[in-house]
Amino acid sequence: MPKVFLSPSTQEFNNYISGGNEELYMNLLADRMEPYLRSCGISYVRNDRERNVSGAIIDSNSAYYDVHLALHSNASPDRLSGLLRGINIFYEPSSSNSERLANIIANNLKQIYPLPDKASAVPTRSLAEISKTKAVAVLCELGYHDNIDDEAWIKRNLNNIAKNLTGSLCDYFGIPFAEPGPVSVGIVSADGSNLNIRDYPSTNGKITGSIPDQSRISIYGDVGNGWYVVNYNGTTGYASGDYIVLS
């Protein structure tokens, strides 16, 4: 299953107009993304908010991740303070996957941002979290926190943004989106056989693990068509609900 390094801003010195700062609100956004990621079967690791950008890059590069997703809000130059609005999704221009992910995110955010023509994917080689990470990387500047309207939009729409970003990751990975709910427990009931864990909710999905009959499993999400996102002994994937009894 996909694995994401989630890297919300550590810039507590970037203050918001009506209180709080960039680090606080981007971490609140990441908090809200977690249940969506889990229900969709996307595993994740968060950056250490006590480390700076260099530390996040080192940590991201220390293991394999499919995507490095940096979460930020923007600030205008002093001479334009408070005047600019918009969302920029920065990507590495030499990476077709980085560009594809950035365009998916920008296009999906147009659906919830009040100025959709100001949400765009932007190439850059100057941002270290894009140019120096091994994983496919994008950096999201989710509005201008020195603009009263953008700041209000961010603060009022953290859950909508979290849902939208997770949906974009699902689009990128080619997996279904599932609404989050409480993690539940199921019992495998497969008439003595093992139940397969797959990388896609279909019998055509690649088998990535198996669960012995009568085993207890965690159910993270319901993707419809009789398939669940499940976890068994640390392995997350899809399993057919035909052989699972909810407890």
Q: Where are the alpha helices (DSSP H) in 141-200?
A: 148-156, 158-173
Name the domain boundary from 173, 206, 230. 173
Q: What is the pLDDT of residues 155-175, one digit of tens each?
A: 999 999 999 999 999 999 999
Same domain, yes or no, for 132 and 241?
A: no
**179 within domain boundaries:** no
Neighbours of 205 (CB within 10 A): 16
**29 within domain boundaries:** yes
**What's 116's DSSP letter?**
G
Same domain, yes or no, for 18 and 97?
A: yes
The CATH number given to whatever domain includes residue 124 is 3.40.630.40
Tally of structural domains, the chain: 2
**178 within domain boundaries:** no
Same domain, yes or no, for 94 and 192?
A: no
Same domain, yes or no, for 159 and 210?
A: no
Same domain, yes or no, for 167 and 189?
A: no
Name the domain boundary from 145, 173, 201. 173
Q: Which domain holds residue 193?
A: 184-246
Contacts of 99 (CB under 8 A, 6+ apart): 91, 92, 93, 121, 123
How far apart are the C-alpha atoms of 67 and 133, rounded to whole Å? 9
Same domain, yes or no, for 156 and 196?
A: no
Q: How many residues in the chain?
A: 247
Enter the pTM of the model.
Answer: 0.95
How far apart are the C-alpha atoms of 98 and 19, rounded to whole Å? 33
For residues 189 and 245, the answer to whether their CB atoms sit within 8 Å is yes
Same domain, yes or no, for 107 and 142?
A: yes
Question: What CA–CA distances, in Å, run from 95 to 46, 106, 124?
Answer: 23, 17, 11
How far apart are the C-alpha atoms of 65 and 52, rounded to whole Å? 19
Name the domain boundary from 173, 192, 220. 173
Neighbours of 155 (CB within 10 A): 16
* β-bridge mates for residue 45, sequence order: 5
pLDDT tens, residue order, the chain (247 aa): 899 999 999 999 999 999 999 999 999 999 999 999 999 999 999 999 899 999 999 999 999 999 999 999 999 999 999 999 999 999 999 999 999 999 999 999 999 999 999 999 999 999 999 999 999 999 999 999 999 999 999 999 999 999 999 999 999 999 999 999 899 999 999 999 999 999 999 999 999 999 999 999 999 999 999 999 999 999 999 999 999 999 8
The CATH number given to whatever domain includes residue 225 is 2.30.30.40
Same domain, yes or no, for 154 and 215?
A: no
